[in-house]
Amino acid sequence: DAKTTQPPSMDCAEGRAANLPCNHSTISGNEYVYWYRQIHSQGPQYIIHGLKNNETNEMASLIITEDRKSSTLILPHATLRDTAVYYCIVMDNYGQNFVFGPGTRLSVLP
Amino acid sequence: ETGVTQSPTHLIKTRGQQVTLRCSSQSGHNTVSWYQQALGQGPQFIFQYYREEENGRGNFPPRFSGLQFPNYSSELNVNALELDDSALYLCASSLSTDYGYTFGSGTRLTVV
């Protein structure tokens, strides 16, 4: 079973910020949170990951709550090409592999 | 640096046949995992190989098997194909799980 929960779908206007929430209430203290996205049945694409602190890279920002039970992925200026399924992921109980949920289908609208 | 490459990109097989899918890891990555993604669902973990040894397995029957070679490339073999095996098969490589995985574009398998 997935260790994260996400809304099944979200819409965002082109040029606006997309804020994608994720709950991971059972995460352990040393587990990272990873975000990937998948565009039209291609392989999942890495976006960002974090442990405790907020993270930013050229694609997105990741905000992790202080208790680490939830996080938010922020795409600051969404474009039509950001339309994809976004997965919030933590590792399995053995710390080896990703446990994917169904993700959030983000639709960026013109 | 090259990414993860998978072959073939598409494949059609008949129920009961056997299939071999191939994956070339990203340069320097010694860990490879395979995932099955049915239409409309998230990827499901099949198994992982680390330095040529199986290092974890998901809830898949023994007719799903694999190999990892000294150059860290990998194969996924599926025997006695069933219609429900139709899916996108993804290979992902990693140097360290702290840095996550790099995924290939997948092989689309259709069983008829």
Reported as a single tens digit per residue, the pLDDT across B4-33 is 999 999 999 999 999 999 999 988 888 999
Mean pLDDT of A88-110: 86
Q: Is the pLDDT of residue A30 over 90?
A: no
CA distance B27 to B18: 29
* HSE-up of residue B52 (Cα within 13 Å, Cβ side): 3
3-class secondary structure, B107: strand
Q: Work out the minimum CA distance from B17 to partner chain A, whole angstroms.
A: 25
Structure confidence by residue, pLDDT tens digits, B32-59: 999 999 998 999 999 999 889 998 899 9
- Across the interface, whether the CB atoms of A97 and B98 are under 8 A apart is answered no
Mean pLDDT of A53-74: 95
Cβ pair A15, A24 in contact under 8 A: no
Looking at the complex, does the CB of residue B104 fall below 8 Å from at least one CB of chain A?
yes
Listed by number, the residues of chain B in 62-101 with a beta carbon closer than 8 Å to a beta carbon of chain A are 88, 90, 92, 97-101
Q: Work out the minimum CA distance from B76 to partner chain A, whole angstroms.
A: 17
Under 8 Å CB pairs connecting chains A and B tally to: 61
- Across the interface, whether the CB atoms of B45 and A94 are under 8 A apart is answered no
Cβ pair B92, B4 in contact under 8 A: yes
The sign one gets for the Cα dihedral A53, A49, A92, A7 is positive
Cβ pair A50, A71 in contact under 8 A: yes
Which positions in chain A touch B29 (Cβ < 8 Å)? none
Of B16, B59, B13, the closest CA to residue B36 belongs to B59
Mean pLDDT of B70-94: 95
The confidence score (pLDDT) of residue B97 equals 60
Nearest to A97 among B56, B102, B104 (CB): B56
Of A39, A38, A36, A12, the closest CA to residue A22 belongs to A36
Looking at the complex, does the CB of residue A49 fall below 8 Å from at least one CB of chain B?
yes
CA distance B12 to B111: 6
Mean pLDDT of A55-73: 95
Provide the pLDDT confidence category of residue B98 given band limits of 50, 70 and 90: low
